[in-house]
Amino acid sequence: MGSVGFLKNSTTICAPVMAESVEEMLKDMKVAKAEGADAVEIRLDCIKGFQPRRDLEILLRNKPLPVITVFRATSEGGQYDADDKSWLDTLQLAKELGSEYIEFELKVASDLIKKGKFNQSSRSKIIVSSYVNAVNSSKEDLSHLVACLQSTGADIIKLVLDAKTIIDAAKIFHLLSHCQVPFIAYSTGERGLISQILGPKFGGFFVYGSIEGQKVPGLPTLSSLRQAYEVECIDPDTKIFGLVSNPVSHSKGPLLHNPTFRHVGYNGIYVPMLVDDLKEFFNTYSSLDFAGFSVGIPYKEAVLDFCDEVHPLAQSIGAVNTIIRRPRDGKLIGYNTDCEASITAIEDALTLGGLRNGSALPSPLNGRLFVLVGAGGAGRALAFGAKSRGARVVVFDINFDRAKSLANDVSGEVHPFEALAGFQPENGAILANATPIGMHPNTTQRIPVAEITLKEYKVVFDAVYNPRKTKLLKDAEAFGAIIVSGVEMFLRQAIGQCNLFTGGEAPEDFMRDIIMKKF
């Protein structure tokens, strides 16, 4: 099926520009436009030696995009120490010179209203904003604050919440969906990222994105908003999926799932979800809008406790990597797509290496020694898959009790993690890494097997997929082993997830093509 388009919403994508000189600010404006911004927010207080008349003339006469002018004094958390008159004169000048939007903070706007100086008769639209700490802000407090913002008569109101957990984003979604005036609202930091991406679903007026190379915590890049997420196509009916993990910044799931949704004409969005507390997360994001989840480190085992039902394979493994919210009753159903993904990737590598004894069963893993490092969720999937194919499983994990438990479950052997460096495998064995060792950004790490023993392994598999070829795989390849990247496992488990997410048949060739181009 070809790509299917959706109606575009009216959300404006805005890039904050905080350069220290007028020249750099103009340059960044042009970059922001090239990367897909609809508007820019210029922070005048960031300009060193700011001269209002001179600098505003240059900025606003040469702006390539509509501008939101922000001038925050030190008393309001900004960087400019100005008296009230010069500060107000600067914003008035910005109006006269054609700034499309002027932002006032609530306290300032309220003071001006009391003094009868809050003049809104201009071509510039007025934004009244408030920046608050989530820790001390209940839903009731925030609703009252929104009412105060609205009472100013501003054209647009803005609320920025200092996020402590991903739960704070839910407060933003609640406020957005109940506000009757143009409203900019988001929570900050990596835990608030979903409030930016999902804002259009709940009625957000602006979405903020950073310029490539100028990363701002909690802001997606402009290019990702346009390309990976296509936020202009998000609407109230868009179903939300995401990776529940900690950490989550390494995830490339959005690069694969979002284009796939669009390709098959499914109205869904896939986002990274940095979760600190599973119970709090599932209690908060319990609506049918949140239709499913991938599950990553370190939650694949713990998440079973939050599923209403668990597929038999996932139950036997004791690990879930995919959750679907059943539409008819909202119950969470847990699955495991890791097991078949990892084992078939290893089997196919052995087959391509000419190591399958004929075209029929048994599996090329049958009878082979399978050395597994890591007994967490991914490790459990590998161990059960290897056992089902007739392999002899040996387990190493830094947590010996966990390794021992897994070894018992698959009738395998267990050894202390410290013994791995001196472990001598039999010729033709399989080595599988199911730990985060070697994952970006710690790419120089490698499983501490003795380097010389790598020549004994026929296949070396690494569940890490970022980078595609880890140091372990490079070293193993140099010794002549067949290597299998975690990218292959990632693709196959994602195909299984896509089937569950959409209820249809995943476009395997399309997804593989994305993997080859972007991973």
Cβ contacts of 519 within 8 Å, gap of 6 or more: 252, 255, 465, 466, 468, 487, 490
Cα–Cα dist 320/384, whole Å: 13
Cα–Cα dist 310/123, whole Å: 58
Cα–Cα dist 320/304, whole Å: 6
| Helix/strand/coil for 453 | helix
* 300 is a catalytic site residue: yes
For residue 87 the two structure tokens come to 């500060």
Buried-state track 307-337, b at ≥16 Cβ within 10 A, e below 16: beebbebbeebbbbbbbbbeeeeeebbbbbb
Q: Of these residues, 63, 95, 300, 458, which one is catalytic?
A: 300
Contact 411, 355 (CB under 8 A): no
Write the secondary structure of 381-447 as one string of H (helix), E (strand) and C (coil): HHHHHHHHCCCEEEEEECCHHHHHHHHHHCCCEEEEHHHHHHCCCCCCEEEEECCCCCCCCCCCCCC
First to last CA, the chain: 23
Cα–Cα dist 382/374, whole Å: 10
Contact 471, 410 (CB under 8 A): no
Taking the CA atoms of residue 349, residue 353, residue 358 and residue 362 in that order, the dihedral angle to the nearest 10 degrees is -40
Catalytic machinery residues: 300
